[in-house]
């Protein structure tokens, strides 16, 4: 696994912070960035011997992760109780046998991996929207990105956890900080949420695994920290949307992400190539005078 580069995270946070997710184009930009962030945080990246570039290596065949959970694609845990139902709902239009993939009778195609990923995102976003209620719609896009990425691999961090003494499910410190931030608009609660993510959300005891998780928590903390954006906007219920802002700045335009690009075999790459392109802001072309 290779977590997203912090420079990319910072630039992306600043770029998406002012998006208006009520607008279809802005929502599409957000979804592209989330997909890319999940690819960075869920998939192993390796150096391509031919190009020297670090590229995503998606597992189309099921594998056993470090917690002995059968996993495939972009971090889809097939060992969960609800995994088979989620799988069948994702592939209801074009059925794919859960058991055939689980028992390695077949692999997923790239298109099937993306269908599964997009459905998983949709399902988890619905759960977060239900948990945070009105607070969710008032969060800025980068704040939602951080929470969606965290929920994808650690739901109990950003929603509720089981109390060891009572056995009851209670809201986590993180979720309470976020809801207080939206309710009051006071920046200190967002600082508390960032600190909770960065310093109090990694109970892993295995040193190597702990390091990987901590890197991911740092990525999420940086993405969440709206107060570091050049233009810092409070939750929507305190300031209202600024949909007219150009999130890339004057003289620049937004270029869509292509998280996974498949290049067919050619002279330069006889075996073909899997590469990626990040969402980014590019300089506007100079007009001839």
- What pLDDT was estimated at residue 42? 87
Which pairs with CB-CB distance under 8 Å and at least 24 residues apart come from 184-190? 185/234, 185/235, 185/237, 185/238, 185/239, 187/227, 187/234, 190/143, 190/224, 190/225, 190/226, 190/227
Q: 93 or 280: whose pLDDT is higher?
A: 93
**CATH number of the domain within which 96 lies:** 1.10.530.40
- What pLDDT was estimated at residue 46? 80
Residue 263 in any domain: the answer is yes
Radius of gyration of the chain, Cα coordinates, nearest whole angstrom = 20
Residue 35 in any domain: the answer is yes
* Mean of pLDDT values over 126-142: 96
Q: Is 130 within 8 Å of 208 (Cβ atoms)?
A: no
3-state secondary structure of 145: helix
Average pLDDT, rounded, for the chain: 86
- What pLDDT was estimated at residue 181? 97
Residue 105 has pLDDT above 70, yes or no: yes
- Range with the poorest average pLDDT among 42-46, 124-128, 173-177: 42-46
Residue 1 in any domain: the answer is no
Domain around 208: 6-283
Residue 205 in any domain: the answer is yes
CA distance 277 to 263: 13
Residue 253 has pLDDT above 70, yes or no: no
CB atoms within 10 A of CB 207: 7
Residue 288 in any domain: the answer is no
Residue 266 in any domain: the answer is yes
- What pLDDT was estimated at residue 229? 96
Residue 59 has pLDDT above 90, yes or no: yes
1-43, pLDDT tens digit by residue? 556 789 999 999 999 999 999 999 999 999 999 999 999 888 8
3-state secondary structure of 258: strand
Residue 44 in any domain: the answer is yes
What pTM does this model have?
A: 0.80
Residue 289 in any domain: the answer is no
The band of 289, judged by pLDDT with boundaries at 50, 70 and 90, is: very low
Q: 140 or 213: whose pLDDT is higher?
A: 140
Number of domains the chain contains: 1
């Amino acid at each position: 696994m290779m977590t997203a580069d912090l420079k990319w995270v910072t630039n992306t946070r600043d770029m998406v912070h002012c998006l208006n997710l009520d607008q279809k184009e802005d929502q599409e930009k957000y979804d592209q960035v989330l997909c890319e962030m999940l690819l960075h945080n869920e998939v192993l990246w390796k150096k391509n011997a031919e190009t020297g570039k670090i590229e995503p290596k998606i597992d189309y065949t099921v594998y056993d992760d470090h917690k002995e959970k059968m996993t495939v694609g972009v971090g889809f845990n097939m060992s969960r109780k609800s995994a088979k139902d989620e799988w069948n709902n994702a592939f209801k239009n074009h059925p794919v046998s859960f058991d055939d993939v689980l028992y390695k009778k077949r692999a997923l195609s790239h298109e099937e991996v993306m269908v599964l990923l997009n459905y998983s995102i949709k399902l988890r976003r619905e759960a977060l929207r239900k948990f945070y209620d009105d607070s969710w719609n008032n969060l800025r896009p980068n704040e939602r990105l951080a929470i969606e990425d965290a929920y994808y691999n650690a739901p109990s961090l950003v929603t509720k956890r089981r109390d060891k003494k009572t056995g009851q499910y209670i809201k986590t410190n993180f979720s309470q900080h976020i809801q207080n931030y939206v309710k009051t608009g006071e920046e200190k609660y967002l600082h508390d949420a960032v600190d909770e993510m960065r310093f109090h959300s990694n109970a892993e005891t295995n040193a190597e695994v702990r390091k990987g998780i901590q890197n991911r928590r740092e990525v999420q903390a940086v993405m969440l920290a709206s107060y570091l954006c050049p233009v810092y906007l409070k939750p929507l219920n305190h300031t209202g949307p600024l949909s007219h802002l150009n999130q890339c700045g004057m003289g620049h335009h937004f270029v869509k992400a292509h998280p996974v690009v498949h290049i067919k075999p050619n002279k330069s790459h006889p075996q073909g190539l899997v590469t990626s392109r990040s969402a980014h802001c590019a300089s506007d072309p100079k007009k001839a005078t």
